[in-house]
């Protein structure tokens, strides 16, 4: 697969797969879609500040990861499964994945460990299985794509790792205490791929994007460090430049006789 992207002022045709050392955090896609500056502060500058929202989210993810793998009604449930995609250049961890066996598999077979299935049947052994990644979030469903893109990236990792098709995933939101289906349509897959390209562009540039004040800044734990209001105030240098430009423009527009006087 080839991904065409622009790095700085150069157009680069990136040949996949990425080397393992070049894999970026899959979770960074959620930060990227929320705010590119937040993403760079966290993953480039290694800045992190806790608030109530981040603590609640961390506890929710910890609870999802620490549960033991189990089988319920023939459906195998795994937690904290490592994921990677050399095509997208991403690596991360899934909160929960449900593995539903095909029709006709006995309860005795379904109760066997998933590891045994993979050891004995190779990739063809998962034919007919329904694999569903589930991502846990503390708040409510969002109007933007940041959560859906993160989940879709997990599905793309599973497809690449297991040579299967993952059509649907689920987002669990803590406020409503329920799951919401996410269809991995072509449009969402395209947005996810573009987001991965943009993430690599930012890492390649090594530059943190300029701050832009928006309503969503109020819920960001990095607001005291990002300082979008301070960075968008007119600086003394820009004020002086504007005054100088205004004076020069005024002199150029004035008649020569007025200037000589």
Whole-number pLDDT of residue 139: 83
Residue 176 pLDDT more than 90? no
CA pair distance 199, 196, nearest whole angstrom: 5
CA pair distance 197, 115, nearest whole angstrom: 33
What is the per-residue pLDDT across 182-229, written as a single tens digit (0 to 9) for each? 999 999 999 999 999 999 999 999 998 888 888 888 777 777 778 777
CA pair distance 230, 79, nearest whole angstrom: 42
- The structural architecture, per CATH, of the domain 2-260 is Alpha-Beta Complex (3.90)
What predicted TM-score, i.e. pTM, was given to this entire model? 0.75
What is the per-residue pLDDT across 24-41, written as a single tens digit (0 to 9) for each? 999 999 999 999 998 999
User: Who wins on pLDDT, 14 or 162?
Assistant: 162
CA pair distance 67, 70, nearest whole angstrom: 9
What is the per-residue pLDDT across 38-54, written as a single tens digit (0 to 9) for each? 899 998 988 877 666 66
Q: Which of 14-28, 113-127, 141-155, 172-186 has the lowest mean pLDDT?
A: 113-127
What is the per-residue pLDDT across 124-152, written as a single tens digit (0 to 9) for each? 567 778 999 999 988 888 888 999 999 99
CA pair distance 196, 251, nearest whole angstrom: 51
Confidence of residue 3 (pLDDT cuts 50, 70, 90): very low
Domain boundaries, the chain: 2-260
- Give percent of the chain above pLDDT 70: 70
CA atoms within 13 A on the CB side of 130: 11
CA pair distance 248, 228, nearest whole angstrom: 32
């Amino acid at each position: 697969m080839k991904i065409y992207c622009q790095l700085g002022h150069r157009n680069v045709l990136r040949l996949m797969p990425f080397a393992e050392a070049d894999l970026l955090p899959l979770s960074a896609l959620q930060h990227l879609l929320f705010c590119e500056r937040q993403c760079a502060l966290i993953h480039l500058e290694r800045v992190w500040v806790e608030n109530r929202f981040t603590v609640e989210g961390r506890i929710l993810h910890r609870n999802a990861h620490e549960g033991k793998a189990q089988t319920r009604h023939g459906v195998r449930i795994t937690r904290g499964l490592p994921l990677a995609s050399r095509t997208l250049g991403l690596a991360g961890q899934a909160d929960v994945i449900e593995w539903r066996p095909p029709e006709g598999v006995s309860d005795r077979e379904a109760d066997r460990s998933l590891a045994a299935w993979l050891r004995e049947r190779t990739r063809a052994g998962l034919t007919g299985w329904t694999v569903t990644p589930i991502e846990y979030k503390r708040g409510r469903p969002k109007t933007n794509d940041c959560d859906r893109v993160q989940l879709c990236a997990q599905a793309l990792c599973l497809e690449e790792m297991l040579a299967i098709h993952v059509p649907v995933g689920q987002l669990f939101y803590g406020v409503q205490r329920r799951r919401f289906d996410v269809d991995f349509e072509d449009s969402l897959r395209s947005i996810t791929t573009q987001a991965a390209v943009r993430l690599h562009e930012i890492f390649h540039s090594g530059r943190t994007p300029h701050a832009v004040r928006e309503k969503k800044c109020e819920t960001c734990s990095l607001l005291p460090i990002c300082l979008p209001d301070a960075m968008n105030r007119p600086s003394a240098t820009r004020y002086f430049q504007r005054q100088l430009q205004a004076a020069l423009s005024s002199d150029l527009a004035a008649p020569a006789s007025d200037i000589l006087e």
